Structure 1
Amino acid sequence: MQLQAMTMQAMAAQVIGVDASAPAANPVTGHLQLGAATTPRGSVLGANNRYLTLDGQPWMPVMGEFHYSRSPAATWEAELAKMKAAGITVVASYVIWNHHEPKDGAFDWQGDRDLRRFVQLCGKLGLKAIVRVGPWVHGEVRYGGIPDWVVDGMRTRGDDPQYLRHVARLYREIGAQLKGSLWKDGGPVIGLQLENEYNLNGPGEGAGHIATLKKLALRAGMDVPFYTVTGWDGAQYPSGQVTPVFGGYVDEPWAVSTTELPPKETYAFRFDSRVSGDLGAQTKSHGPGTAESDIDKTPFLGAEYGAGLPFMYRRRPVVSPDDIASMLPVQLGSGVNLMGYYMFHGGRNPVGATTLEESSISGGYNDTPAINYDFQAPLGPDGQQRPVLGYLRPFHYFIAGFGNRLAPMTVRKPDVTPSGPADLRTPRVAVRSNGDSAFVFVNNHVRQYPMPAQSLQFDVKLVGGTVRFPRRAVDVPDGAYAIWPVNFDLDGTRLRHATAQPVARLDAGTDGITYVFAATEGIPVELALEADSATIDTPAPRSMQDGATIADVTPGTSRALTIRRAGATPVHLLVLPAAQARQLVIGEVAGQRYLVLSGQQAWFEGGKLHLRSVGDAAMRFAVYPALSRAPKADHALRARGADGVFQAYEATLPAVRLTATATPLREARPAPAVMKGGLAKAAIQPIPEAWRTAATWRIDVQRDALKHVDDALLQVDFTGDIGRLFDGTRLADDWYYSGYGWQAGLKALALKHELSLAVLPLRADAPVYIAKEARPDFGAQTQIARVNKVSLTPVYKLTITP
């Protein structure tokens, strides 16, 4: 009876009131000291205390981190094109010092370290770039990226004269690489990040050191519009000279807990702050940072919202697509005006005189894999699309299409808000508004914690009056999250409200203008239009309420409704089901934007549409608007007629069967107890000598596996502590067991010798966090080291010329 009462209480209809009628203060300029912000063609970047601007208009980018020196140079262009297709508009990348100057004065800017070529490719693809120049970057790199010879020989991260001489030389080298590619030259580089997670405040440190780094960057020729610093964990910087950026992660792999964490602040709307919990800074602050006193002077910009999470030895959380995507309504609803991710593309560490990962042995706070930097990112180290990417794309397209409306909007606090991140019963809602328009942000997802279903209506009081919607309270189930518009302009027609998210606006010429919406999982779609003199054509059931036409729309690939006005271009609304919205890719060919629906990984590059399929030789895509001629492809295409407003096509590539086998070579021996210690005083990665206890297998793969496919993914399903793949004696890849699948592309492995696998046993008493779903059942065993299966999966690619 008590549980039934709680359920009924949770489902009782609640009206969430939000007073958004007060006028927003005008943006303030002049505080931020921007660099050269005008291109030779006169395009201008700017910033005020609330948002960024491009050519005087509000501008809201989406930024994704991709480390060029952790990825093969031959793949950069395609991987950047995939990021663009995912809605990324700005690419961020660390310049990792010890990847470039392993020895004093011996700089390497070739091959996978060719920064110049990387930023030029960003420009070629129409992407902007922010270069994070360090010198200390963290990035789970040995010594935070500072070379051994610097760490061994001088005082770092401050105004020590010897250190600054080497930093100045590094900056001159970076400046030479970026010459001609800066925004002022017509290039893609719009900003620099100085240092990282900097909260030191002793002699020669603090804000003065950041000011020194900016001067050195300018002397090196790096004059760009924006200079940023990370603003969390008590950051210290010179106010006005740089702009703080923020972030948040849905778990803390750097934490010492071996159990689930309390509900993360990342899922709670913030109305008075910008720091979303612990972000794992390596140094500790002793008071509030500059970002706290700057909150009314700088826009709320993000740089490190985790699009995934790394695995660290003592803590290995696996995240779901909903865990990540549900952050977006929360961050946008809290006022973020630049959604920046770390990482958006995974990679692998190069190897120098040592391996270059962060480790306790080298004095780091964390232990990370020596090679693998997968990060559970939307794009994996081998370019594979992870499910989370499809969940993020509709939000990115929303920002691209309507960010100029959202950016000037002010955050409005509801009448009732949760008491804190651990309050799982009070509805989580925020509103951003500007004049008579608004967006409502709802989140009912908290990682690893069930949320009660909420029966909600909204009373949004705007300048022109109060909008209550929907007609009847809507049941928001556990796990749901959404962005819904209020008084949204559809090219002259007001959409009073919708319980679906705007995604994009597409001008299809004579076919009219199409607004694409995405339904919210488990919530019926209600559209309310103030049609005035327009005619609304819709197959959906409709009614009238307070002068608005209410349409109850069934999502699908057919038009939900069409608005017609005399002498005006027709306006169509397309409402895709949530699952189909996750298959939507938007790109441009020959000046025409297209909507593409495909269950395969899809992107546009070189004026062509590319599809990539893992394991399935059959591919399908549907495109809108209709192609003017039959498309060509490198394999036979079959037209499959209309799918709603889309044209559908199929192709079946020659299927390839690939094999991989694992042959035992050595059984495991009893592994030593996991030691505790290091800076975290927690479990640390076993010392190298512990590997003598590992079990080993010979891995045999087809040597001609890549002959007829784009790539082949070696999938290693093992249970143990750590797995390592060796090409002969070369460590080619490694993995911490977590329950998350380990894949390695044969192209990246570049095998030259016999492939082998070593698995260090996982002890039953190991004080490490592994999610309960993946924690092995040890039974009477004291340790486990086994290979469950190895397989080789073909990756097919289809290239279509529209």
Structure 2
Amino acid sequence: MTAATDRDVIAAHASYAATTLTVDASRPADPPFTGTVQMGSNTSPGGHTIGINSRYLTRDGEPWLPVMGELHYTRVPDAHWDDELAKIDAAGVDIVSSYVIWRHHEVRAGEFDWSGLRDLRRFVQACARRGLLAFVRIGPWVHAEVRYGGLPDWVVDQVPTRSDDPLYLQYVQRFFAQIATQLDGLWWKDGGPIIGVQLENEYNLTGPQQGAAHITTLKRIAREAGLDAPLYTVTGWDNAVFPHGEVAPVFGGYPDLPWGTVTTMSPPNEVYGLRFTSRVGGDLGAQTHNSEAGDADAVAGETPFLGAEFGGGLPTMYRRRPVLDADDIAAMLPVQLGSGVNLYGYYMLHGGRNPPRDLSGQESTATGGYNDLPIINYDFQAPFGANGEAHPVLGKLRPMHLFLRQWGSALATCAVYAPDVLPRGADDLDTPRFSVRANGDHGFLFFNNHVRQHAMPARRCVQFSVRLATRTVVLPAKPIDIAPGSGFIWPIGLPLGDAQLRYATVQPVTQLPTPEGDMYVFAAIDGIAPEFAFEAGSVTDISPSAESAEPQTIDALDGARVVRPVVGEALIVTCADGQRITLLTLAREDIERLSVLPLAGQHRLILTDATAFERNGNLVFRSIGSASFDVGIYPPLARMPDATTDTYAFTLTPPQPGVFQRFSVSVAPVAFEASLTPLRAARAMPPIVRGGTAKAAVEPAPELFGHAAAWRIDLPEPALTAPGLSNAYLSIRYMGDVGRLFCGPDLIDDHFYNGLPWQIGVRNVKIDPGQPLMLTVLPLRADAPIYLDARYDPRPHTTDQVAEVKGVSWVPEYEVTVFPGSVMRERI
């Protein structure tokens, strides 16, 4: 920071009194203890273990804080599983969880289908090939926005469900035995990837033959069938009941409530406030209710804070259709990690579609459900959408996943310490939201200044004072402003090799071994100058990595050397023992483009706007809509990458500031036109009916869909199979109530209008080139009692109804596969 900049900051702060935000993290945490939860077999043939104690999970006896993400194998074409799992691995996720949806496997009693996208065994084997662990959520009732919570119709028609009714248990036993057959040999004890089983879902029933004893029964049946995993869990929210000591509760939270009944914007949501008193979040949409206190808080001192359903997005339900911004999801991580979460689980991580031909399998008010869902589409606005496309939120989440892969073991042991001044509640937007997780003299500071749809104030002229076990750390060196919407995780007392970092005002992302020594990558926080404070005795020199680089500002402060690096340029730190480490601080826009992937024998930083992942030792890039993109690689390659065909150019570009070796990738563009022909105009719609269990707007009856406007979409047959593409999308922009896409007589996708483009991957749905494509749009009445985001709501601009298509386009998804090839050409 220059002297002029310092003066500007001082002048800007002159009208504000400095505020010190304090937290006492000096009290030692209670040591963890074991034996409070009955586990299954937890040791692999190679001696590797999965464990659980009162505070955290362990892997091979070491503290472990993994990331878990939900992907429903029956909602994703099985031909895509390998690549989708590779993308999930590249996103820094460790565990894939999935419901085993009963109705998808036993439509008729005694007739099981485990083929195609229902092949659970092959899906788990695909997880293992990617090095991903698996968590099977076997229900039998799973919710999942599926009819009857996934229970087959013939079960619901015949017996009392979700209870110890003998005939129901007989059917459950047969179903669990089938699952066990599919998963034989794939459990952790066999050397397989399955580490956990979730029983039931949102279970808070306490009627006849119900209650905690039913969960005990389900666990017994599962174990007798051979479903033997280290971990057994249940969901812990909404007054859940379960047997203490038999299962560990998992928790979650969503940034909005699409299952709610109000048609206005939601108040500030609890997921943006730290949880210091209870792990149980707010409304998570359970369909049953229990007026008595549940069991989750009673075992909080015996089980770690595990997450399974922190919203990676939201479903679009008929009466409420929130649209999320990427920060609405990303802001939850510092909050929940700062609340003590020691397993971060997303629902959903990857969207999808209900299986073909199951056109009555969605949750609906017509079949007694609380909500109306699309028949097919389950995009969820998840990090990976219904077609597997990366949504913008992925770039914000991946750096935090990488952080947990690198430093999660240190964080897992840290206890939670609340600040001295706490917000009064979720609607208190004035009191700063932060916490510290610490263990002795090291830890992490968590801060959040984002609440979805509600303006937060700038925090002017603030510093933090953290009292640790033997010292107090004040950071940063001078008061700073924290912008509205900002959030971060800052390290305190973090060792970087043999250098001791007192604090930093940048977020740790990853550590990368290189031939020149370890590189540590950090993310700069918008509006806050990067600052590293090293204990003076632990370092002897701090200097730029290149002679041409800008000088770094270095000050002395209370026994520390404080350096303010230039964003994008590397910094070499020489430790007292002579070891050298490299620090690289990247701007937010670069951090959101960053992956860490294996290439040419080592892990490298990959910087690109394309989606990048590894396949069979090669690097794969996918670019939607753009036939050219840039790639940065570090450490640089000694050999020029070769493309798999002659259709792309992979060109080394002139050197630029910073450490990355830069390439430009260009692909032969592919273009097809999707033409749109009106077939019929919309007819007047009657008022939307209120009803169902929620006494709110319900989806129009099937016969009213004949009132929809219709268009024919003409797409050249080569657009479905164009070579050099991994996929292509029909991108439909429309306004109305419900959109449906038919191929001949078959419904192949549907969409509740929410203002976002409706994306249909032509290789994700079955399109018969011999059949016409027809798009229908049901009109949206101006008086429709549903919630739409004000940014996309057409009703203020009409007094009648709206059903129009703004455009349909064909968008290619290019794929480039490269691997190190010939000797690197001379630099340009």
- Please give the TM-score of this superposition, normalised by the length of structure 2: 0.94
Number of the residue aligned with 2:597:
587
CA contact (8 A) 1:536 1:564 kept: no
| Match in the other structure for 1:799 | 817
Say if 2:577 is the partner of 1:563.
Answer: no
Deviation at 1:658, TM superposition (A): 1.6
Over residues 437-460 of structure 1, what are the superposed CA-to-partner deviations in whole Å (9 max), with x where a residue is unaligned? 011101000001101100321110
How far off is 1:701 after superposition?
A: 1.2
Q: Which amino acid aligns with 1:707?
A: A
- Deviation, 1:531, is 3.8
1:553 has 2:553 as partner? no
How far 1:351 moved relative to its partner?
Answer: 4.0
Instruction: Tell me which residue corresponds to 1:722.
Output: 738
Q: Which residue of 1 aligns with 2:196?
A: 191
Moved more, 10-19 or 425-434: 10-19
1:625 counterpart residue number: 635
Question: Would you say the 8 A contact 1:561–1:574 is kept in 2?
Answer: no
CA distance in 2, matches of 1:206, 1:419: 34
Aligned partner letter, 1:311: T
The separation in 2 between residues aligned to 1:619 and 1:89, in whole angstroms, is: 28
Partner of 1:60: 65
From 220, 234, 244, the equivalent of 2:225 is 220
| Aligned match of 1:373 | 378
Identify the match of residue 775 of structure 1 among 785, 793, 815: 793
1:534 aligns to what? 540
Kept in 2, the 8 Å contact 1:102–1:352? The answer is no
| Aligned match of 1:614 | 624
Cα deviation 1:180-224 (Å, max 9, x = unaligned): 100000000000000000000112111100000001111111111
In structure 2, relative to structure 1, the CA distance for the partners of 1:661 and 1:751 (3 Å cut) is same
- 1:647 and 1:464 map into 2 onto residues whose CA distance is 44
Match of 1:661 among 666, 669, 675: 675
Distance 1:415 1:24 in 2: 18
Alignment of 1:687 onto 2:701 = yes
Counterpart of 1:396, as a letter, is H
Question: Please, which of 386, 405, 424 is the counterpart of residue 391 of structure 2?
Answer: 386
Match in the other structure for 1:746 = 762
Q: Which of 487, 490, 493 in structure 2 is aligned with 1:487?
A: 493
Residue in structure 2 matched with residue 232 of structure 1 by the alignment: 237
CA-to-aligned-CA distance 1:399-453 (integer Å, 9 cap, x gap): 1100011000000011111111100001111000000001110100000110110
Mapping of 1:466-545 within 5 angstroms? 466-508=472-514, 510-532=515-537, 534-538=540-544, 539-545=551-557
Are the aligned partners of 1:211 and 1:241 in contact in 2 as well (CA < 8 Å)? yes
1:724 counterpart letter in structure 2: R
Query: Would the aligned equivalents of 1:10 and 1:453 in 2 still touch at CA under 8 Å?
Result: no
By how many angstroms is 1:787 displaced? 0.6
Residue of structure 2 equivalent to 1:4? none
Q: Is 1:208 matched with 2:213?
A: yes
**Partner SS, residue 318 of structure 2:** coil
- C-alpha distance in structure 2 between counterparts of 1:8 and 1:727, whole Å: 63
- Is contact 1:265-1:277 (8 Å) kept? yes
Change (3 A) 1:95 1:531: same
Work out the CA distance in 2 between the residues paired with 1:780 and 1:710.
Answer: 40
> Pairwise mapping of residues 122-271 of structure 1 onto structure 2 (< 5 A)?
122-271=127-276
1:639 lines up with 2:649 in the alignment: no
Residue 13 of structure 1: CA displacement? 2.6
State the match for 1:3 in structure 2: none
Q: Which ranges in structure 2 are unaligned for 5 or more consecutive residues?
A: 1-11, 545-550, 821-828
Contact 2:782 2:799 in 1 (8 A): yes
Instruction: Give the C-alpha shift of residue 383 in structure 1.
Output: 1.5
Query: Which position in structure 1 is the counterpart of 2:688?
Result: 674
2:752 corresponding residue in structure 1: 736
**Given the alignment of the two structures, is residue 320 of structure 1 paired with residue 325 of structure 2, yes or no?**
yes
1:708-730 CA-to-partner distances (Å, cap 9, x unmatched) read: 32211100101000000001010
Distance 2:232 2:509 in 1: 31
**CA RMSD of the aligned region, Å?**
1.4
Q: Which of 111, 115, 118 is equivalent to 1:113?
A: 118
The amino acid that maps onto 2:493 is: N
CA distance in 2, matches of 1:215, 1:590: 48
Q: Deviations over 1:22-46 (max 9, x none)?
A: 1111001111111100000000110
Partner residue, 2:48: 43
Q: Is the 8 A contact 1:13 1:454 kept in 2?
A: no
User: C-alpha displacement at 1:652, in angstroms?
Assistant: 0.8
What whole-Å deviation, never above 9, does each CA across 1:677-727 have from its counterpart, x for those lacking one?
001000000000111111000011121013232211100101000000001
Write the deviation string for residues 540-596 of structure 1: whole angstroms up to 9, x where unpaired: 11111112111122211x20343344553x111000101100000012246511110
Question: Could you report, residue by residue, the CA deviation over 1:36-80 in whole angstroms, capped at 9, with x for unpaired residues?
Answer: 000000001100010000111000100000000000000000000
- Displacement of 1:750 after TM fit? 2.5
Between the two proteins, the alignment pairs up a number of residues equal to 793
Give the 3-state SS of the residue equivalent to 1:738 in structure 2.
coil
Structure 1 alignment gaps of length 5 or more: 1-6
Structure 1 residues 132, 23: CA separation in 2 closer, same or farther (over 3 Å shift)?
same
Quick one: distance in 2 between partners of 1:12 and 1:663? 64
Alpha-carbon distance, 1:619 to partner: 2.1
- SS of 1:15's equivalent in the other structure is strand
TM-score after normalising by structure 1: 0.97
How far residue 353 of structure 1 moved from its aligned partner, in angstroms, is 5.7
Question: Would the aligned equivalents of 1:10 and 1:454 in 2 still touch at CA under 8 Å?
Answer: no
CA deviation profile, 1:101-138 (whole Å, cap 9, x unmatched): 00001100000000000000111110000000010000
Alignment partner of 1:93 out of 85, 94, 98: 98
1:420 partner amino acid: G
Corresponding position: 1:651 with 2:632: no
Q: Name whichever of 603-612 and 294-303 sits farther off.
A: 603-612
1:381-403 CA-partner distances (Å, limit 9, x unpaired): 21111000000001100111000
Deviates more, 1:584-593 or 1:148-157: 584-593
Q: Residue 703 of structure 1 corresponds to which residue in structure 2? A: 717
Corresponding position of 1:600: 610
Paired residue secondary structure (2:531): strand
Task: Give the distance between the partners of 1:780 and 1:187, measured in 2 at CA.
Answer: 58
Q: Work out the CA distance in 1 between the residues paired with 2:666 and 2:84.
A: 24
- Same amino acid, percent of matched pairs: 51
Asked if the contact 1:493/1:531 (under 8 Å) is kept, the reply is no
